[in-house]
């Protein structure tokens, strides 16, 4: 079995290496460069160099957008909160995760840090991302990056804001009470000691009108109905620019019926 796996992997590597000059999509570049780098191919570095020309740098973060942003199309006076509300697509998360894994594999830790910071800024309050697939991949990349600094860690974090100070931070987490203010105050975080620590702050707020984001067009048609069977056709169409990530359609069944998978 192991021999068959090695043969299949070698053939896949040869196939990818023979098609590297036909790859221009940013997602394809990310996953292919990482795959070839893991297999020990020098071509992976060539692809990643091409991917690096597509990077977007914002302050101390960098990422690779899979589609153009539409934030500028909105009136900044009527929706000033939206730039903090909109999150990147699951594909953007996966691309950044593959890039970070590539940096980890090549021990280019300094170049991977801005990618790690961007990934952290995309996490939700529960620590996940947009979908299951991009969450698993991003957490893998962030965890592997963290293991590079897990040997010697002695860090004390002090979190200070308006009439509030908290410094009861353990080695793995620093969870303080929630602060509710009409006006969001400054949050000052000071780190002392040695090692690498990651600080993440979540902000929640209310809006007068929630942003509409109809990513899918769903239609359900009843094809045939009898006392013993029901035939339903469900179609889903992606409506936003670019391509979608992993999509799951969940359909409920009436009581007394079961799905006919062989039909």
Domain ranges of the chain: 2-147, 154-194
Query: What ranges in the chain are assigned the alpha helix state H?
Result: 2-18, 26-38, 43-52, 82-85, 90-105, 109-121, 132-147
Digit-coded pLDDT (tens) for 140-184: 999 999 888 766 677 787 877 766 655 555 555 555 555 555 566
Q: What is the predicted pLDDT for the residue at 167?
A: 57
Q: Is the pLDDT of residue 193 over 70?
A: yes
Half-sphere exposure of 214 (CA within 13 A, CB side): 5
- Residue 72: pLDDT band by 50, 70, 90 thresholds? very low
* CATH tag for 2-147 (out of 1.50.10.20, 3.40.50.800, 1.10.10.10, 3.30.450.20): 1.50.10.20
Collapsed DSSP state (helix, strand, coil) of residue 252: coil
pLDDT of residue 77: 44
Distance CA 235, CA 229 (A): 20
Q: In Å, how far are 181, 189, 199, 224 from 186, measured between CA atoms?
A: 11, 10, 15, 61
Buried b (16+ CB within 10 A) or exposed e, 39-67: eebebbeebbebbeeebeeeeebbbbbbe
């Amino acid at each position: 079995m192991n021999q068959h796996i090695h043969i299949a992997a070698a053939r896949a590597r040869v196939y990818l290496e023979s098609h590297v000059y036909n790859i221009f999509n940013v997602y394809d570049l990310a996953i292919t460069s990482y795959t070839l780098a893991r297999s020990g191919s020098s071509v992976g570095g060539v692809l990643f160099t091409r991917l690096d020309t597509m990077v977007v740098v914002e302050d101390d973060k960098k990422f690779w957008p899979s589609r153009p942003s539409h934030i500028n199309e909105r009136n900044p006076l009527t929706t000033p909160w939206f730039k903090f509300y909109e999150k990147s697509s699951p594909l953007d998360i996966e691309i950044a995760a593959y890039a970070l894994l590539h940096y980890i594999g090549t021990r280019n830790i300094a170049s991977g840090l801005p990618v790690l910071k961007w990934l952290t800024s995309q996490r939700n309050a529960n620590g996940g991302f947009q979908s299951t697939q991009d969450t698993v991949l991003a957490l893998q990349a962030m965890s592997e990056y963290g293991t590079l600094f897990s040997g010697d860690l002695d860090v004390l974090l002090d979190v200070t804001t308006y009439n509030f100070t908290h410094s009861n931070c353990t080695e793995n987490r620093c969870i303080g009470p929630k602060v509710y203010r009409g006006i969001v105050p400054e949050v000052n975080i000071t780190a002392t000691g040695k090692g690498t620590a990651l600080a993440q702050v979540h902000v929640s707020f209310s809006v007068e009108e929630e942003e509409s984001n109809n990513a899918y067009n769903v239609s359900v048609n009843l094809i045939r109905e009898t006392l013993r069977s029901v035939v339903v056709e469900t179609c889903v169409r992606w409506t936003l620019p670019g391509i979608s990530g992993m999509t799951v359609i969940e359909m409920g069944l009436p009581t007394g019926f079961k799905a006919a998978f062989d039909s």
